[in-house]
Amino acid sequence: MGRGRLLTVEAMRRVDAAAIAAGTPGIALMRAAGAAVAERARSLLPEGGSVLVLCGPGNNGGDGFVAARILAEAGHPVEIRLLGQRAALSGDAALAAAEWRGDLTEGIGGDDLARFGLVIDALFGAGLSRDLDGEARGLVERVNAAGRPVLAVDVPSGIDGNTGAVRGAAIRARETVTFVALKPGHLLLPGRAHCGVLHVAEIGTGAAALAEGFAACEPPLHANGPDLWGAAFPRHEAESHKYTRGHALVLSGPAYRTGAARLAARGALRVGAGLVTLASPASALAENAAHLTAIMLRACESADDLDDLLVDERLNVVLAGPGLGMGQPTRDLVAVAASAGRALVLDADALTSFKGEAAALARHLAEGGATAVLTPHAGEFARLFGGTHAVEEGLGKVERARRAAALSGAVVVLKGADTVIADPDGRAAINDHGTPHLGTAGSGDVLAGLIAGLLAQGMPPFEAASAGVWIHGDAGCRHGPGLIAEDLPEGMPRVLGALEARLR
C-alpha cells in the first residue's frame, strides 16, 4: 500500500474486522501475513542458516507460526519458542499453531541464541498496551544481546505502534514487515530506530476495508512526501516572473546577530520566491550588504517601521525569529505582522518571546486573520506551550503537535529527527526523510526560509510546511557528511530538479 496515509493501531483493527465481515476469513489474512514474513526471511537467511521463531500468545504469534511452517516446508531448519502455552492459544492463532508439525518449546528457553542465522520476532504487535516485564522483557533483552539479525513481524516487540515509544524494552530489528500500511510508531522515534528497513505487505484485506480503516483514522495522518503535497507544489509557467512568485520579508536582528536571518532569506530565495527582502536595524545594514546580492535590504528599527513596510501589499510573507532577539520588541513585530494579515513563519526568538503565552500569540494571529507556520524544536515547543494541554505528560509527539496547532490556530512543525507537521484542522504528517547531518547550527533557519519561500509562491500553509521539511531533508541526504547550513540553499537546484522530474 506504500508510504502515504498511516493507520493507527485502532484503525488497523477496523481494516481487519471489515475484511473479515466482508467474507475473508481471519486465518486467510494470517496466512498471507505469515507468507510475507517468510518471503522476507528467506532473503535474510545465510545459506544453511537456521531460524528461531519467537511467537507470542496473540495474533502476532499466529503470523510467526505461519512463517515458520512455510520456511520449514522450504527446507530451512526452524525452531519455535512460544511465550506461553500452546493450549492457551485461541482464534486464528490457535488455527495457525495447529498447522505447525515441528518441534515447539513453551517458554523462553535458555540456550545460546547466537547459533541461529535469523530470529523472527513474532512476540507482540503494534497494539501492545503495557510495558514488557518478566519473561517477555528478559527474552527481548537476550535477543538484543545475542546480536543476531532479527526480522520483526508488524513492529519490533515492545514498540508502541501509535507513538513509537519503548514499552519497557524493545527488540532491535534489522528489518520489519508490517501489513496494509505503515503505523505511526514505524516513523516516530525511538520506534523508527528499532525497525530497521521497513516493508509493507498486502495481505488481501481489500480496498473497501482499507477505506473503513482510513475513515476510522480521521483526521488523516500521513508519511510526509511528495504524494502529500506535490499537487500544490509551485509550477513555474512560461509567463511566470518574479512578481508572480511572491515577495518574502525576513526580519533580521541587530549587528553581529544577522547570520541566521541571512540563511533564512537565502533559503526562501533558492526555493523559488520571486523576491526576498531582509529588513534589519540600520546599524546592521552594512553587515548584511557585505554578504548579500540578490536579496534586497531595508531598514527596520521598530514595529512602527515594519507597519510602514507592510503598506506594500506585494510583501506577502513575513519570517520572524532567527537571530531577531527575545522580548517585547520582537512580540511587537509579530503583532504588527499578524495584524497586517500576511502569511507568517515564526521561529526561534519569535517563539521564545511568547514563552508561556501561547494564547496571546494565538490571539494576535486570529485578530489579524493571519495564516502562520510555527517551527519550534522540542525546547522552544516546551517554552511556548508549557502549562497548556499540548504538553501533557504521556502524550505522543503527533498528539502534542495537533493540540498545539489547534490552540495556536497555526500549522506547527515540531522539529526533530522525526519532525511532525500538524494543521489546526487535525491533519498531520510525520517526516522520516532526513539525516543526522542536518543537526548543525543554522539548519533550522534555512528550513524556516524554505517554508517562507513556498508560502510566498502560494502554497497553503500545511502543504508548504510539509514540503519545506521534506526538501530540507532531501538536501541533507544528498549532501551527506560535512554539511553546514550554508550548503542547504546551494543544494536546492539538485533537490528541486529531481523533485520536478518526480512530479511530472
- The C-alpha atoms of residue 144 and residue 158 are separated, in whole angstroms, by 12
CB atoms within 10 A of CB 219: 11
CB 427 within 8 A of CB 411: no
- Mapping DSSP onto H, E and C, the string for 383-452 reads HHHCCCHHHCCCCCHHHHHHHHHHHHCCEEEECCCCCEEECCCCCEEECCCCCHHHCCCCHHHHHHHHHH
**CATH code at 367?**
3.40.1190.20
* Structural domain containing residue 117: 9-218
Overall number of domains in the chain: 2
Instruction: Grade residue 48 by pLDDT with cuts at 50, 70 and 90.
Output: confident
Per-residue cell: 501: 522530474
Residue 347 within any structural domain of the chain? yes
Report the percent of the chain where pLDDT is more than 70. 99
Which domain-ending residue is among 218, 251, 281? Answer: 218
Q: Is the pLDDT of residue 1 over 80?
A: no
Residues 180 and 294 reside in one and the same domain: no
Residues 91 and 122 reside in one and the same domain: yes
Q: Is the pLDDT of residue 118 over 80?
A: yes
Least confident of 102-106, 146-150, 463-467: 102-106
Average pLDDT over residues 9-16: 97
Residues 412 and 483 reside in one and the same domain: yes
Average pLDDT over residues 366-388: 95
| Residue 166, helix vs strand vs coil | strand
Residue 378 within any structural domain of the chain? yes
CB atoms within 10 A of CB 22: 12
Residues 106 and 29 reside in one and the same domain: yes
Residues 298 and 435 reside in one and the same domain: yes
Angle between the N-to-C axes of helices 91-98 and 59-73, in degrees from 0 to 180, rounded to the nearest 10? 20
H helices of 236-348, where? 259-270, 285-289, 303-309, 328-339
Q: Is the pLDDT of residue 2 over 50?
A: no
pLDDT for 73-107, tens place per residue? 999 999 999 999 999 999 999 999 999 999 899 98
Cα-Cα-Cα-Cα torsion 319, 321, 322, 323, nearest 10 degrees, comes to 130
**CATH code at 20?**
3.40.50.10260
Amino acid in the structure at residue 135: E
Average pLDDT over residues 332-348: 97
Radius of gyration of the chain (CA): 26
Residues 247 and 151 reside in one and the same domain: no
Closest CA to 400 of 437, 438, 358: 358
Residue 275 within any structural domain of the chain? yes
Residues 82 and 119 reside in one and the same domain: yes
Residue 64 within any structural domain of the chain? yes
| Predicted pLDDT of residue 39 | 98
CB 404 within 8 A of CB 377: no
Q: Is the pLDDT of residue 109 over 80?
A: no
Residues 321 and 200 reside in one and the same domain: no
| Residue 280, helix vs strand vs coil | strand
Average pLDDT over residues 313-341: 97
- Pairing state between β 420-422 and 428-430: antiparallel
Amino acid in the structure at residue 453: G
- The C-alpha atoms of residue 136 and residue 158 are separated, in whole angstroms, by 9
Closest CA to 122 of 202, 197, 177: 177
Residue 231 within any structural domain of the chain? no
Residue 2 within any structural domain of the chain? no
Residues 187 and 315 reside in one and the same domain: no
Distances (CA, A) of 446 to 88, 331, 339, 386, 440: 57, 22, 25, 26, 11
Average pLDDT over residues 369-380: 96
Q: Is the pLDDT of residue 190 over 80?
A: yes
Higher pLDDT among residues 176 and 110, named by residue: 176
Q: Is the pLDDT of residue 47 over 90?
A: no
Element (H, E) at 446: helix 443-456
Average pLDDT over residues 106-122: 88
| Predicted pLDDT of residue 344 | 98
CB 459 within 8 A of CB 316: no
| Residue 406, helix vs strand vs coil | helix
Average pLDDT over residues 475-491: 98
Average pLDDT over residues 251-267: 97
Kindly report the average pLDDT of the chain as a whole number: 96
Residue 4 within any structural domain of the chain? no
Which domain-ending residue is among 186, 218, 250? Answer: 218
Element (H, E) at 146: helix 134-146
Higher pLDDT among residues 433 and 3, named by residue: 433
Distance from the first to the final alpha carbon of the chain: 22
Distance of CA 195 to the CA centre of its chain: 14
Residues 254 and 214 reside in one and the same domain: no
Average pLDDT over residues 203-221: 96
Residue 234 within any structural domain of the chain? no
Average pLDDT over residues 59-78: 97
Q: Is the pLDDT of residue 237 over 90?
A: no
Q: Is the pLDDT of residue 217 over 70?
A: yes
Which domain-ending residue is among 218, 249, 270? Answer: 218
Give the torsion sign (CA, 157, 158, 160, 163). negative
Residues 50 and 132 reside in one and the same domain: yes
Distances (CA, A) of 308 to 300, 302, 328: 9, 10, 19
Closest CA to 178 of 291, 60, 325: 60
Average pLDDT over residues 157-180: 97
Residues 378 and 250 reside in one and the same domain: yes
Instruction: Grade residue 9 by pLDDT with cuts at 50, 70 and 90.
Output: very high
Q: Is the pLDDT of residue 110 over 70?
A: no
- The C-alpha atoms of residue 250 and residue 278 are separated, in whole angstroms, by 5
Higher pLDDT among residues 25 and 391, named by residue: 25
